[in-house]
Structure 1
Amino acid sequence: MSNITLAASRPVLADRIGSRTLATDVALIAAGAALTAGAAQIVIPMWPVPITGQTFAVLFVGATLGSLRGALSMLLYVGLGVAGLPVFAEGGAGLAKLAGPTGGYMIGFVLAAALVGWLAQKQWDRKVLGTIGAFLAGTAVIYAVGLPWLSVALGQLGYPNDLTATLQAGLYPFIPGDLIKALAAGGLLPLVWKLTSRTK
């Protein structure tokens, strides 16, 4: 199958930067992991879950790389952190960090990038409302994995872990930021599509 056919079958922004090769895919996957690692260091300290720039990076990587490469990029990010590189929020690293209160969110990153990437392949990211919807769907996936994990972790640490306590610790403080991120993406990605379409 030619590179042109592959690009047409996965019409995401990354496929518009040039010819599609294995080396390009590897570089993009690594770049997505690096972007997420950098965004993880933008932190407003909170316990048990800090506010970071991670989720925007995760969803942006999924939207621009597509489902498979987006998911692989997040797997690489999590793998590097587990291996000991300080790529998690606040320079965290190690298996213990993954097993802690925020571990479920990081697992959710992989699934969220895959979902947003799949929606981008369906051209959701070319319209404002579609992009916002894709980002909100990806965010919901992160919470769907992160909140139950957080509840278990809080209970193991001896903290209240009923539904109200879990939502107060891991959901409510993040809703305004999540909405802002989705709106920002809704303005950014369709604009980039328009710009790249004019140059092709």
Structure 2
Amino acid sequence: MRNQKLKFLIVDALFAVIIAILAQFTIPLGPIPLTGQTFAVGLTATILGARHATIAVCVYILLGAFGIPVFSGMTAGLGILFGITGGFIIGFIFNAFITGWLLDRFGYKMGNAIVANVIGAIITLFFGVLWMQISADMSFTDALMAGMAPFLLPGAIKAIFAAVIGLKIRERLVKSRLLSEKLPS
């Protein structure tokens, strides 16, 4: 049992690194860049489920908070978390948990994975908009237009890709017995 827990801690850390790597793929789009982070979070949740995806995302955020440049653009630090994009990063925690929980609860099927990932992406955007409103002293409407509207279509596309690719990877990991059908809590 102890070896199993260690194995999953290593897997969680590995997925934190995957999120950090994919975060470096960015397309500048005003003050909030379009990044691979949200895709990576959805992918992680689709493969690992709620508990382990949430742990992986928390490890990723802690690495960045402690100054390791894992956020988009090789940035790090509490200034990023408290800056205009900090709400999106904190939203990743809730994205990972809800996406994974929906899949754990309703099954790892394509339709469920797409719906769960789209909901998770919207959750990330919602947290980002709320924090943007506070940190930039914007009206809710202005924050919505700046922090959600331009990202809805790209977010949906990334969510669909995260669902499709995540299920394929999960299926192969389960088949090869590197991942059990039901991950331990």
Name the TM tier (shorter chain): 0.7 to 0.9
Structure 2: state its 5+ residue gaps.
178-185
Q: State the shift of 1:121 in Å.
A: 1.3
Question: Is 1:77 aligned with 2:54?
Answer: no
Residue matched to 2:136:
154
Q: CA 1:82/1:190 → structure 2, altered by over 3 Å: closer, same or farther?
A: closer
Question: Is 1:172 aligned with 2:149?
Answer: yes
Residue matched to 1:143:
125
Root-mean-square deviation (Å):
2.1
Q: CA 1:66/1:193 → structure 2, altered by over 3 Å: closer, same or farther?
A: closer
Residue matched to 2:82:
99
Query: How far apart, in 1, do the equivalents of 2:173 and 2:61 lie?
Result: 31
Would you say how many aligned residue pairs link Structure 1 and Structure 2? 177
* Equivalent pair of 2:46/2:103 in contact (CA under 8 Å): yes
Question: Is 1:122 aligned with 2:122?
Answer: no
Residue matched to 1:27:
10
Question: Is 1:43 aligned with 2:26?
Answer: yes
Query: How far apart, in 1, do the equivalents of 2:27 and 2:103 lie?
Result: 30
Q: CA 1:27/1:154 → structure 2, altered by over 3 Å: closer, same or farther?
A: same
Percent identity for Structure 1 against Structure 2: 31
Q: CA 1:181/1:124 → structure 2, altered by over 3 Å: closer, same or farther?
A: farther
Query: How far apart, in 1, do the equivalents of 2:71 and 2:49 lie?
Result: 23
Q: Secondary structure at the match of 1:84?
A: coil
- Structure index of larger Rg: 1
Which of residues 181, 196, 200 in structure 1 aligns to 2:158? 181
Query: How far apart, in 2, do the equivalents of 1:184 and 1:147 lie?
Result: 23
Residue matched to 2:47:
64
Query: How far apart, in 2, do the equivalents of 1:91 and 1:75 lie?
Result: 18
TM-score normalised per structure 2: 0.86
Deviations 1:12-71 (A, max 9, x none): xxxxxxxx7012111111111101111110011233211101001011111211211111
One-letter amino acid of the counterpart of residue 124, structure 2: I
Residue matched to 1:12:
none
